[in-house]
Amino acid sequence: DPCRNFHCKRGKVCHVDKQGKPSCICQDPAACPSTKDYEHVCGTDNKTYDGTCQLFGTKCQLEGTKMGRQLHLDYMGSCKYIPHCTDYEVDQFPLRMRDWLKNILMQYYERDLDTSGFLTEKQRSKVKKIYQNDKRLVAGNHAVELLLHDFEKNYHMYVYPVHWQFHQLDQHPVDRLLTHSELAPLRASLVPMEHCITRFFQECDGDQDKLIALKEWCHCFGIKE
């Protein structure tokens, strides 16, 4: 099968011509497999698609047009009303996000105590110092004032989780810059719960080049140079 090891980007599928030569053509959105309700996704055009196959197939068919350039995966689930993010809320966002990232690493570390696989050896040694610190703020729904106080008092505990998340996302390619598609896995899962995440990342891009550099990312989370 000429298509076996022939890779096509999202929204395209492999097609073999009469000479047996493979090439990538746009996925027909109507030919996408049927999906369950929980697999629906919302596009940046505020339309609900029956899954990522249908969304990216549609984007591919619009290639070269303004609509095609602007269409991205916005968030997981059917489109719904997302409230406007206020200035006050966007200022609070990095406090909650830093705390959340730190606690994700704590959970990974705890799971690795039984069965390893979530963190590398190097990551484990860095997270261990945070985990063993008895002054650590445990997971919970904390008041903004407490999160701010803890960040100022235990600043060193938040530096690594912020760096770790950046490097988890910086994969295609690894270049210390985050593109819209590299941010998508984090954004798409959080938008319904954290309606300020879109504005937060837009404002993170200080030079408006549609890329978030490591320096910009750290600045957004209050991490010093």
pLDDT (tens digit per residue) in 25-68: 999 999 999 999 889 999 999 999 999 999 999 999 999 999 99
- What is the pLDDT at residue 165? 96
121 in the same domain as 177:
yes
How many domains does the structure of the chain reveal?
Answer: 2
Taking the CA atoms of 70, 71, 73 and 74 in sequence, report the sign of the dihedral they define: positive
189 in the same domain as 114:
yes
Residue 81 included in any domain: no
136 in the same domain as 183:
yes
Q: Which domain holds residue 184?
A: 87-221
- Name residue, tokens 């249908």: 54
174 in the same domain as 96:
yes
The total number of residues written for the chain in this structure = 225
Does pLDDT of 139 surpass 90? no
152 in the same domain as 43:
no
Angstrom distance (rounded) from CA 64 to CA 85: 32
Of 14, 43, 41, 38, nearest to 26 (Cα)? 14
State which of 76, 104, 128 marks the end of a domain.
76
Angstrom distance (rounded) from CA 3 to CA 6: 5
Rounded to two decimals, the pTM is 0.78
147 in the same domain as 47:
no
CA dihedral in degrees (195, 118, 205, 139; nearest 10)? 50
pLDDT digits (tens, 9 = 90+) for 71-124: 999 999 999 998 899 999 999 999 999 999 999 999 999 988 877 678 988 999
70 in the same domain as 92:
no
As given in the structure block, the two tokens for residue 211 are 């890329």
Residue 4 included in any domain: no
101 in the same domain as 166:
yes
- What is the pLDDT at residue 138? 87
92 in the same domain as 184:
yes
